Structure 1
Amino acid sequence: MIIDTDPGVDDAFAISLAALSEEVDLLGVTTVFGNVPLEATTLNARRLLALCGRDDVPVAAGAARPLVHAPLRRASHVHGADGLSGRSAALPEPGRALEPGGAVSLLVSLLEAAGEPVTIAPIGPLTNIALLLAAHPEVREKIARIVIMGGGLAGGNSTGAAEFNIWSDPEAARRVLVEEPVPCVLVPMDLTYRCAVDTAWLAKLAASGPIGAALEALTPDYSSHYRKALGWDGIVLHDAVAVAEAIRPGILKTETYPVEVECSLGPARGATLVDRRRQGLRAEAEGDIAQGHIEVAVDTDLDGLRSFVLDRLAR
């Protein structure tokens, strides 16, 4: 597995989930702009791997901005100014230097060297993955599937139409989700919100040991935001839900749909348009917009998913 990430509190849980799962061969981590600027996301990723005792995992920095249009805003109001509720510096310092050459170079080298197909889990804006597939189409055959946290079927969180990761770089998202012939699983916020965890879950994590305590300590700013968003005390582990599916295929129930990404500059920019009509009712007239068909996660055993994540993080 390779994780592409913009840590972010939920990214912290997702990275740790993969790093602590024994059946995962975590080949590398690449970083992207998103919740906070690239310099912060990269340092956060390296510190989180150090927390998990995984300085063996190489990290490379990727895109600092979207493909086309400059980012309108970050998500520091959700994750804190440093991306981790102001507590990034409390994590261990990285024990491994940043990889030279950048994210796309590392992705290519890891994929080319892999002896079996690799799962990529992009849990931030899709800029690095779009660049990889555009510049190096020869690596597609080495990708087992791309499991993406992003999108919203019924609306968004950055705008009324768009979820943050897709909204941050819609052109990149469209390249990956619609135009590329690579198996994709989209894990939208409609499902990740349903997988939210409460304070009792967080207390169990904090009591599990040093890693669990350190992860729980990253949540105050994030918890404050989600107290308002959920209407109760808890947090949404968006990215960890996607990584759980990457680790254990089938832990989420998926259905295959045509999908489009809105790339106009209007109020729907960044929306994921998932056509959930019955196949016979879908418009097939000549001249319709091109649509990619991808798997979309629509359901899971909620308690089972929460237990899976907690058990791995608490080991």
Structure 2
Amino acid sequence: MKKRPVILSTDPGIDDAVAIALALFSEELEVKLICPIFGNVSLEHTKANTEKLLTLYQKTPRVVLGSSRPLLRETINASEIHGESGMDGYEFPEATIFADESQTAVEAMHEVVNEAEKTTLVGIGPLTDIALFIHLYPQDLAKIDRIVVMGGSLGRGNYGVLSEFNFAADPEAAKIVFNSGIPIQVAPLEVGNQAKIMPKITNRLKSMGEIGEMIYQLFSKYRSGSVDAGLNMYDALAIALIVKPEIFEMVSARVEIETTASLTYGASLIDLNNYLDLPANAEVAVNVEASLFEQWFIDSLAKTAK
């Protein structure tokens, strides 16, 4: 099977750590580049977390540092969910794999995209670097198969009243991405709320070697849901959209991002009923088969123990 080349823009973050593992150990994906970016915690922490994860995973994709701040707005973070470092709760081995700081993530994206016929961009943090890539390298856009994003919400937010964190962290970047004309698939907040990992599955992680134990320990500190009531797996949805699309219900819709400095700054208007009378610019997941997601999730992580 020919593997699909992907670039990950990520801000680990506990659920990012899981999404990175799912991508790296997938038999269908070839992770060509990982670009840590500010988001859940500062770039200093997301860089260190990426290096620690790859050392533990014993995987060596290219790692190039991304943006440390949004295009325009003040920086926000989600350390109250992920802990001060972004991955509190596990004693990682000392990193032996390090990010390349000699060029920008956007330059590296340009190089990687031109190595393959078609590349998929995966945004599971703020979309700043993907927006900059779109802006600086328009000649590369025909070589993008699609952009797969975890972000936005169908209704209420988890950062502002109507804004989801990833889009709220850089609304202007999200707007550039959705206005790019590139095919986009989106897993919004509500679908992440459906995709819970329940205690029976969480407890199986402990028997899956060092990586399973690490994920279990991080989950014990993760404050998006609870081990007992079920943990929300937001970022893993982006990987599932690529390798397990049949478990989702998808709808073509117009997605507009609010960039006016107002109470709704950063909100995503996902127009399921065509109120805006504008052409669709994304395929939006509106439901996921939770039991099938959970089975895929644990079967995929079982590969990390082999």
Give the TM-score normalised by structure 2.
0.92
- Counterpart contact for 2:251–2:272, Cα < 8 Å: no
Q: How does 1:148-227 map to 2 (within 5 A)?
A: 148-177=149-178, 179-222=179-222, 224-227=223-226
Amino acid at match of 2:151: G
* TM-aligned CA deviation for residue 246 of structure 1: 2.1
* TM-aligned CA deviation for residue 292 of structure 1: 5.4
Partner of 1:84: 87
Amino acid at match of 1:242: A
Partner of 1:257: 253
Partner of 1:38: 43
Q: How does 1:54-203 map to 2 (within 5 A)?
A: 54-55=59-60, 57-71=61-75, 73-87=76-90, 89-98=91-100, 100-114=102-116, 116-177=117-178, 179-203=179-203
Higher mean displacement: 58-67 or 299-308: 299-308
* TM-aligned CA deviation for residue 300 of structure 1: 2.1
* TM-aligned CA deviation for residue 306 of structure 1: 1.0
* TM-aligned CA deviation for residue 158 of structure 1: 0.5
Alpha-carbon distance in 2 for matches of 1:236, 1:312: 17
* TM-aligned CA deviation for residue 225 of structure 1: 4.7
How many residue pairs match? The answer is 298
- Counterpart contact for 2:252–2:280, Cα < 8 Å: no
Amino acid at match of 2:169: S
Partner of 1:236: 232
Query: Cα deviation per residue 1:24-52 (whole Å; 9 max; x = unaligned)?
Result: 11111011100000011111112212222
Change (3 A) 1:134 1:213: same
Alignment RMSD: 1.7
* TM-aligned CA deviation for residue 4 of structure 1: 0.5
- Counterpart contact for 2:162–2:267, Cα < 8 Å: yes
TM superposition outliers: structure 1 runs of 4+ over 4 Å: none
1:245 to 225, 241, 245: 241
- Counterpart contact for 1:126–1:166, Cα < 8 Å: yes
Unmatched 5+ stretches in structure 1: 285-289
Query: Cα deviation per residue 1:248-271 (whole Å; 9 max; x = unaligned)?
Result: 344422110111101111111111
Alpha-carbon distance in 2 for matches of 1:92, 1:216: 19
Match of 2:167, SS state, is helix
Alpha-carbon distance in 2 for matches of 1:263, 1:58: 33
Partner of 2:34: 29
- Counterpart contact for 1:259–1:291, Cα < 8 Å: no
Alpha-carbon distance in 2 for matches of 1:96, 1:165: 25
- Counterpart contact for 2:149–2:184, Cα < 8 Å: yes
Unmatched 5+ stretches in structure 2: 1-5
Alpha-carbon distance in 2 for matches of 1:283, 1:131: 27
Partner of 1:50: 55
Match of 2:153, SS state, is coil
| Aligned residues with identical type, % of pairs | 34
Amino acid at match of 2:267: A
Alpha-carbon distance in 1 for matches of 2:151, 2:40: 13
Alpha-carbon distance in 1 for matches of 2:48, 2:89: 13
Amino acid at match of 1:48: L
Partner of 2:263: 267
- Counterpart contact for 2:192–2:232, Cα < 8 Å: yes
Match of 1:210, SS state, is helix
Change (3 A) 1:94 1:237: farther
- Counterpart contact for 1:209–1:314, Cα < 8 Å: no
Alpha-carbon distance in 2 for matches of 1:151, 1:97: 29
Amino acid at match of 1:246: I
Change (3 A) 1:283 1:308: closer
- Counterpart contact for 1:58–1:96, Cα < 8 Å: no
* TM-aligned CA deviation for residue 76 of structure 1: 0.5
Amino acid at match of 1:150: G
* TM-aligned CA deviation for residue 307 of structure 1: 0.9
* TM-aligned CA deviation for residue 69 of structure 1: 1.5
Partner of 2:302: 314
Match of 2:235, SS state, is helix
Alpha-carbon distance in 2 for matches of 1:128, 1:207: 37
Higher mean displacement: 258-267 or 161-170: 258-267
- Counterpart contact for 1:60–1:102, Cα < 8 Å: yes
